[in-house]
Amino acid sequence: MTSTRRTAAALAALGFSVLSAGVSAQTVDVQGAWARATVQGQKATGAFMTLTAQSAGRLVAVSSPVAGVAEVHEMKMNGDVMQMRALSNGLELPAGKAVELKPGGYHVMLMDLKLPLQKDTTVPLTLVFKDAKGVETKKELKVPVSQTAPAGAAAGGMHGDHGAKGHGTASAPKGSDSEQIAAVMKKQFDRPDAPLSVAPVTVLGNYAVAGWIQGGKGGRALMQKDTNGWFISVCAGDGLKDAKVLQTTGMPLDHAAKLAAAVNAAEAKLSKEQLALFASFEGMLKVGPAGHGAAGGHGASTGHGAHKH
Ligand SMILES: [Cu+2]
């Protein structure tokens, strides 16, 4: 127990409320809160909202009865890899300024989930704020659960609506082929609680092979380009650096041989550990352009980990 808490408790015992004792309690406005729905077996998800503190303070702790562990996280680009970490000192809330917690940015991470978060239900969430004087206040919320950001909520960054949109309905990713491929894969599989890293990407004509790692798992994706842009054709492991296996996906043999050689060259400088992760994807999973946006089908909400059996 901190001394301020003891003081507050003592004042309360004497019949004073903390407010009337002249200690300014933190008032924080919460708008558009929502938590992302999960599927059976998924152990983590994110909760998002916009916070506006009347006076400067911090969001120092979060808790929910549905989660064994709840933390305030930030997502940051480290080189070209998106990483997520807990804010050990809490999230700063400048006076009067709206701070958005949204997919791809700051978020409340709910981990060790005790049960799946079902769409159209609510989950209790407790936010603990600390003002400039160190006084803590709690705010209890009932947060609606949904698959994507509700209208009016802080719109998602790269995580927004993943899996919900079909091939070609969203604006096509811009940039080089590798950038577009990474964007397409992240759109489908990146999650706040399991960031996806994509590299290396080996492009040959309208085909490419991209290595990926997510949450201690990995594999390779065969990408194909049609008039709507790049899409995930096949998910596999070491097969995608083997010309004979590539040929079975419908690629001409000479193209398959060239692509396999290019993939092996691109991966030549990778560590044994990274190559072992790419190899760890068992079997081959056909995705194809129709797989785009098939929420649930290719694990749009469960991530790549789901199809390693
Ligand atoms: Cu997180």
For 232, the 3-state DSSP assignment is strand
For residue 109, count other CB atoms closer than 10 A to its CB.
20
Task: Place 234 in a pLDDT band, splitting at 50, 70 and 90.
Answer: confident
For 289, the 3-state DSSP assignment is helix
Please state the separation of Cα 12 from the chain's center in Å: 42
Give residue-wise pLDDT tens across range 89-132.
Answer: 999 999 999 999 998 889 999 999 999 999 999 999 999 999 99
- Ligand 1 center–CA 82 separation, angstroms: 11
d(CA 11, CA 36) in angstroms, rounded, equals: 40
For 75, the 3-state DSSP assignment is strand
Select from 125, 146, 167 the last residue of a domain: 146
Select from 146, 167, 201 the last residue of a domain: 146
Helix (H) or strand (E) holding 6: helix 3-13
Helix/strand/coil percentages in the chain, nearest 5: 20, 40, 40
Task: Place 142 in a pLDDT band, splitting at 50, 70 and 90.
Answer: very high
Task: Place 168 in a pLDDT band, splitting at 50, 70 and 90.
Answer: very low
Flag whether 156 is in a domain. Answer: no
Q: Give the number of C-alpha atoms closer than 13 A to the C-alpha of residue 190, restricted to the C-beta side.
A: 25
- Ligand 1 center–CA 106 separation, angstroms: 8
- Ligand 1 center–CA 205 separation, angstroms: 36
Same domain, 181 and 302: yes
Flag whether 231 is in a domain. Answer: yes
Task: Place 64 in a pLDDT band, splitting at 50, 70 and 90.
Answer: very high
- Ligand 1 center–CA 235 separation, angstroms: 25
Structural domain that includes position 58: 24-146
Flag whether 15 is in a domain. Answer: no
For 169, the 3-state DSSP assignment is coil
Same domain, 183 and 302: yes
Positive or negative: CA dihedral 237, 241, 244, 250: positive
Task: Answer yes or no: is pLDDT of 242 > 60.
Answer: yes
Flag whether 18 is in a domain. Answer: no
Domain of 112: which CATH number? 2.60.40.1890
Task: Place 270 in a pLDDT band, splitting at 50, 70 and 90.
Answer: confident
For residue 177, count other CB atoms closer than 10 A to its CB.
17
Flag whether 170 is in a domain. Answer: no
Q: How many Å is the Cα radius of gyration of the chain?
A: 23
Task: Place 150 in a pLDDT band, splitting at 50, 70 and 90.
Answer: confident
Same domain, 183 and 102: no
pLDDT of residue 290: 55
- Ligand 1 center–CA 74 separation, angstroms: 7
pLDDT of residue 14: 41
What lies within 8 Å, CB to CB, of 16 at 6+ separation is none
Same domain, 192 and 70: no
Same domain, 192 and 296: yes
- Ligand 1 center–CA 9 separation, angstroms: 34
pLDDT of residue 94: 97
Residue 162 DSSP code? T
Task: Answer yes or no: is pLDDT of 11 > 90.
Answer: no
- Ligand 1 center–CA 10 separation, angstroms: 37
Task: Place 155 in a pLDDT band, splitting at 50, 70 and 90.
Answer: low
- Ligand 1 center–CA 272 separation, angstroms: 28
Task: Look at 10-24, 181-195, 219-233 and tell me which has the smallest mean pLDDT.
Answer: 10-24
- Ligand 1 center–CA 167 separation, angstroms: 27
- Ligand 1 center–CA 216 separation, angstroms: 15
- Ligand 1 center–CA 71 separation, angstroms: 8
For residue 254, count other CB atoms closer than 10 A to its CB.
10
- Ligand 1 center–CA 160 separation, angstroms: 15
- Ligand 1 center–CA 80 separation, angstroms: 18
Same domain, 188 and 136: no
Contact between 104 and 195 (Cβ < 8 Å): no
- Ligand 1 center–CA 158 separation, angstroms: 14
Contact between 218 and 280 (Cβ < 8 Å): yes
Task: Answer yes or no: is pLDDT of 235 > 90.
Answer: no
Same domain, 122 and 34: yes
Same domain, 132 and 224: no
Q: What is the mean pLDDT of the chain?
A: 78
Same domain, 130 and 197: no
Task: Answer yes or no: is pLDDT of 214 > 80.
Answer: yes
Flag whether 273 is in a domain. Answer: yes
Flag whether 67 is in a domain. Answer: yes
pLDDT of residue 136: 94
Flag whether 163 is in a domain. Answer: no
pLDDT of residue 25: 63
pLDDT of residue 190: 78
- Ligand 1 center–CA 262 separation, angstroms: 35
Same domain, 29 and 131: yes
pLDDT of residue 293: 34
Q: Which residue has the higher pLDDT, 139 or 26?
A: 139
Task: Look at 125-129, 215-219, 289-293, 300-304 and tell me which has the smallest mean pLDDT.
Answer: 300-304
Same domain, 40 and 88: yes
Among the ranges 42-46, 79-83, 269-273, which has the highest mean pLDDT value?
Answer: 42-46
Task: Answer yes or no: is pLDDT of 222 > 70.
Answer: yes
Select from 146, 168, 197 the last residue of a domain: 146
d(CA 91, CA 227) in angstroms, rounded, equals: 44
- Ligand 1 center–CA 197 separation, angstroms: 15
pLDDT of residue 308: 31
Same domain, 107 and 184: no
Task: Place 185 in a pLDDT band, splitting at 50, 70 and 90.
Answer: confident
d(CA 23, CA 18) in angstroms, rounded, equals: 6
Look at the chain and report how many structural domains it folds into.
Answer: 2
